[in-house]
Structure 1
Amino acid sequence: MLSGTSMSCPHVSGLVVLLKELHSDWSSVSIKSAIMTTSLIVPILEDNSQEEATPFSYGAGHIQPNLAADPGLVYDLMTNDYLNFLCAHGYNSSTIGSLYRGFYVCPKHFKLANFNYPSITIIN
């Protein structure tokens, strides 16, 4: 049996092409959101162990193409969202400017909990 990223990559890539055909106006981030938020979590065991795997081992879960085609809601991120994320992690404007190829002023108040991403952010 073949498994892992070697098998999931071609399946997800094919789904991305189908979703882009259905929703030509969606960004790549919206497509990723549709796939992640409609995935099915199936309990699996860690490799060489009898312990249940965590999301860090299996990602968003098993893709469900029919649900991803009509997810109801998709998250979309813009460049500013990623830049604000870096600001929240303590990067200053000059460091971000070197990455961004432009000048960016970090907002005075930005919380990681407001990062619009189809995942869970746990604030320490």
Structure 2
Amino acid sequence: MESVHQRWLHFHISSVAKSDKRRVLFNFESGTSMACPHDVSHGGPTTPFAIGSGHVDIQKASDPGLLYDIHPLEYLLYLCSLKYNFSQIAKFDCNFTCPKRTTMQPGDLNYPSFAMRFKSDAHNVTITYRRTVTNVGNPPVGTYKVQVQEPKGISVRVKPSILSFKMHGQKLRYKVSFTAIRQIIESDSSSFGSLTWVSGKYTVRSPIAVTWI
């Protein structure tokens, strides 16, 4: 216990042994280590905003099946979609100029997660993101089917719902549409879900985070 909760004092750690007469006068509701994944301020469970996709499985990470690869140019285009001006972007690449016309939106950055904001009273409002995955699985020929855990208040549609790879290094694109459906949602709240591509031993999971404003 002392090695896990190093901020606890010795007299805070009592056992259930009858010979141990020490008793604490309070209970801990929040944790300060990964062994107790709670928010320190109020004892509530953590969310993907804090833990992302969760703990890294080293063995699976060495053989992920699919990759969400990003080229440095994509980061620059991402800054353009955020309306960065020339002087701001020059801090990263002084020779780059944003194209006059670009269809990229911030949510299209090829990142293995999805985040969006909706008004709490939104209904039939849709946001669509695009992603590209690269096949690094073994064997190189494989078919992935999508599984979706929808966040509260959101309908999720993935096209295509099946990705069939024929060779190692092959890239395939898909798009995800998130539609707010009529539900009573509190403002300043969040809901979470996930999108997972599954093929045999591979499960490639991406968290979905929705903020209601």
Query: Is residue 88 from structure 1 mapped to residue 87 from structure 2 by the alignment?
Result: no
Tell me the distance in 2 between the aligned counterparts of 1:106 and 1:91. 12
Q: Is the 8 A contact 1:83 1:96 kept in 2?
A: yes
Structure 1 residues 71 and 54, CA gap change in structure 2 (3 angstroms):
same
Structure 1 residues 81 and 51, CA gap change in structure 2 (3 angstroms):
same
Q: State the TM-score, normalizing by the size of structure 2.
A: 0.35
Q: Which residue of structure 1 lines up, in the alignment, with residue 72 of structure 2?
A: 79
Q: Which residue of structure 2 lines up, in the alignment, with residue 106 of structure 1?
A: 99
Q: Which residue of structure 2 lines up, in the alignment, with residue 13 of structure 1?
A: none
* Structure 2: runs of 5+ lacking an equivalent: 6-35, 119-213
Q: 1:68: how far off?
A: 0.8
Q: 1:56: how far off?
A: 2.4
Q: 1:107: how far off?
A: 5.4
Query: Is residue 117 from structure 1 mapped to residue 111 from structure 2 by the alignment?
Result: yes
- Bigger CA radius of gyration: 2
- Per-residue CA distance 1:72-124 (angstroms, 9 max, x = gap): 10111111110111111111234313431213223522112221011213156
Runs of 4+ in 1 over 3 A off after TM superposition: none
Structure 1 residues 107 and 114, CA gap change in structure 2 (3 angstroms):
farther
Q: State the TM-score, normalizing by the size of structure 1.
A: 0.56
Structure 1 residues 121 and 78, CA gap change in structure 2 (3 angstroms):
same
- Over the aligned positions, Cα root-mean-square deviation in angstroms equals 2.5
SS in 2 for 1:122: strand
SS in 2 for 1:56: helix
Name the structure, 1 or 2, with higher relative contact order (CA <8 Å, separation 6+): 1
* Structure 1: runs of 5+ lacking an equivalent: 4-42
Q: Is the 8 A contact 2:77 2:98 kept in 1?
A: no
Residue identity over aligned pairs, in percent, reads 31
Tell me the distance in 1 between the aligned counterparts of 2:71 and 2:113. 16
Match of residue 54, structure 1, among 44, 47, 64: 47
Tell me the distance in 2 between the aligned counterparts of 1:48 and 1:82. 35
Structure 1 residues 89 and 104, CA gap change in structure 2 (3 angstroms):
same
Q: Which residue of structure 1 lines up, in the alignment, with residue 38 of structure 2?
A: 45
Tell me the distance in 2 between the aligned counterparts of 1:57 and 1:114. 22
Partner AA of 1:52 in structure 2: P
Structure 1 residues 56 and 93, CA gap change in structure 2 (3 angstroms):
same
Structure 1 residues 96 and 55, CA gap change in structure 2 (3 angstroms):
same
Partner AA of 2:104 in structure 1: F
Report how many residues are paired.
85
Q: Looking at secondary structure, tell me which structure has more helix per residue.
A: 1
